[in-house]
Structure formats: C-alpha cells, structure tokens
Structure 1
Amino acid sequence: MASVGARKLLTFVTGNPGKLREAIAIFGEDLPWKLVSVKLDLPEFQGEPDEISIQKCKIAMEKVKGPVIIEDTCLCFNALNGLPGPYIKWFLDKLGHDGLNKMLAGFEDKSAYALCTFSFHSGKEGDEIMLFRGRIDGTIVPAAGDNKFGWDPIFKPIGYSRTFAELDGDSKNAISHRSKALTLLKQHLQ
C-alpha cells in the first residue's frame, strides 16, 4: 500500500477538481490518509444509487489496486418519484438549468433532495465495499449564483434563502450531502 510519510494514500476516482477540493476541505488534515485523485473512465451504470456506486467501486478497485473511494451523486425531484436521480449529470448536460426547472413546470411540488453516496474499498482482498450516504432536502428554483459546479445554482437547501451556488464554500461544505457522506467516511477511516 502506497504511503506519504506516515499517511496512507486513498485514491478518489474523479476527474472533477471541484469535488476533490471539497473532499480535501471536508476531510481536513487530521486523517492518517492523504487523498489523491485519478481520473478513470468508468461505465455509467443504470440502476439504484447503491448498486451504481458498488459497481463503479469494483471496477475502480481493479484499476487502482489500493484503497479507493468513488462518489455518486443524485438530484432527486420528489414530484418525479426521485428522477433524474443518478442520471442528473446527463439531464443537466442535455437540458441545462432552465430545462431542469421546466421538468417541474406542471407540478406544484418543487421539493427535491440531493443524495451523495461514497463507496470505499480498503484495497485488501476479501474486504467488502462499504457505503456512506449523505442527504440534504431542498427545493428546485430558477438558477441563481455562479455556474461553476453542476446543478448548484438550482438547488436551495431547506432553511436557507440562497442556492448552493450562492453559498460560500465553507457554508456549503458544512451542510452539503457530500459533506454528510464524507463525514461518515472520515469517522470510519479514523
């Protein structure tokens, strides 16, 4: 197992530098692990979030050959029984923020939730893949704030007057679905 000083390497399979920055900020420096990233082309599986996360982690384990984490994020509209869910990336690419809002035009219910699932494998043969989930409820609103990070401009968390995109990084990291999942993972790794 590779290490840096006394810290072991944990590979976060992502090509998204924003996700890596958020994960490093949330993890902090008090872990015996150093988080690094690698971009791998993993298949886009279909199914339920847990199934998708486990399948991606299995493939990542084979390629990384060491401790690995995979993140899968869903944006789920309650009026659409959880869709677009794990397919949010593709819906956003094709429809944009406006199109996602239009999907709910015929519904009074604009509520949604963001779900983040991290799958972790220790890199040791025989160990099971572990799942860590974080969820935050909110509302789908017209885009507001910077357009730097996915669907953040259209998701306003419950209890907040601003979208994820309008919150500063520390405020978002304190409440986000990713933060909740990573906090559970961090507790496990400690």
Structure 2
Amino acid sequence: MAPKQLNFITGNKNKLIEVEAILGDTVDLQSKSIDLVEIQGTIEEISADKCRRAAEAVQGPVLVEDTCLCFNALKELPGPYIKWFLQALGLEGLNAMLAGFPDKSAQAVCTFAYSEGPGHEPIIFQGRTDGKIVPARGPTNFGWDPIFEYEGKTYAEMDKAEKNKISHRFRALEKLKTWLKSEV
C-alpha cells in the first residue's frame, strides 16, 4: 500500500523543487535533510543502501535519490561519484576528462529508492536520459546541468518546465508515480 505521506531525504533545495514539481499531488512529500554514509558500488547498490539507512534514521517510509552522470567513453564513470568529481574539478575539469576521447556522449541517470520503513527491502525506480558533454552553457547554479546537453540545449539552458518533461529525474519519477498509483 502506497504511503499518503513520504519523507524525501535530501538537503538539495533544487532537487526538492524539481521532485515536488514532477510529482505534483501524487503524494504528500516531506523533506528531511539527513547526512547519510554512502557506500561505493553500483548505482543500484548505493541507492538501496542509502534507502535502508534513511528508513532506519526516520523510522518510517522514505524516498532517497541518487543522481549520476555517466560518460560513455569512460565506461560510465564518474557515475555515482559525480558530486565529488564536480567539487574537485569543476565544470571545465569534467570537460577536460573527455579531451582525449572523440566520444562525448553521456547519460544522466536518476535512481530513486523507496522503502516502507526499517526492515523493508527498497524498491528502485531509475530514469536515464542520453545526451552529450559540452563546454558549460547557461546558469551554473545546479550541479552539472550547464555541461549536459540534450537535443541542442544544456539542462541549464532549459526552463524548469521543459527540463522536467525530459530529464532523468522526470523519467524515474514517472515510474514512481505509476507504482504509487497502482498501490493505492
């Protein structure tokens, strides 16, 4: 049975705004910022582990999100470690990582994990959007959005409504919405 209220574990206000805009009134979303340890592993392993830890921390239903940027030339790296690569290298450094490769294609990947609460196995909802890595264009206030281009525009150049119709986050949340509706 789908929860009426769900704790979305994030400290990122931009992610919260996007998730609320895409989910609409599907579920009553409550935001909680909890500093969770993140293991190393695959996208799915990291998301499931983070979800288990969050469910224990809040003692109730939780939704966690993990966003990745996967460079195809680098066999999907930096992947789930994009946050650390971006902090260390900046947008120009991420571009420089692909300087020696003709393939600039990439995937934006968003993985949501839901758990009913402690002891319940997380359910994974993943969305992927294919694009390419380009020199930064547009506002630089939301992570790597300025360097990920989809059909001629970077995420940063798109208005929020446009991005929320095609993004990796949208694709993952559409799966979550379908599941939530089927569980009611």
TM-score between both structures, scaled by the size of structure 1: 0.91
Distance in 2 separating the partners of 1:130 and 1:56? 12
Structure 2 residue identity aligned to 1:45: I
1:163 aligns with 2:154: yes
Find the aligned partners of 1:59 and 1:46 in 2 and give their Cα distance.
14
SS at match of 2:139: coil
1:64-102 CA-to-partner distances (Å, cap 9, x unmatched) read 111100101110001100100000000000000000000
Q: 1:78 aligns with which of 56, 72, 75?
A: 72
- Relative CO higher for 1 or 2, CA cutoff 8 Å, sep ≥ 6? 2
Aligned residues of 2:52 and 2:121 also touching (Cα < 8 A): no
Shift of 1:51: 0.3
One-letter amino acid of the counterpart of residue 90, structure 1: W
| SS of corresponding position for 2:169 | helix
Other-structure match for 2:39: 45
**Which residue is equivalent to 1:144?**
137
- Correspondence 1:56-135 to 2 at 5 A: 56-123=50-117, 127-135=120-128
Distance 1:99 1:46 in 2: 22
Structure 1 residues 86-95 or 38-47, which shifts more? Answer: 38-47
Q: Which amino acid aligns with 2:176?
A: L
**1:105-141 residue CA offsets vs partner (Å, 9 max, x unmatched):** 0000000001111000122x65321000000000000
The answer for the alignment partner of 2:11 in structure 1 is 15
Identity %: 58
Residue in 2 that maps onto 1:26: 22
Partner of 1:174, secondary structure, is coil
Deviation at 1:10, TM superposition (A): 0.3
CA contact (8 A) 2:7 2:30 kept: yes
Q: Which of 162, 167, 178 is equivalent to 1:176?
A: 167
Deviation at 1:36, TM superposition (A): 1.1
Q: Any stretches of 5+ residues in structure 1 without a counterpart? A: 1-6
CA distance in 2, matches of 1:21, 1:36: 12
Give 1:4's aligned residue: none
CA contact (8 A) 2:6 2:62 kept: yes
Within 1, Cα distance between the matches of 2:82 and 2:121?
27
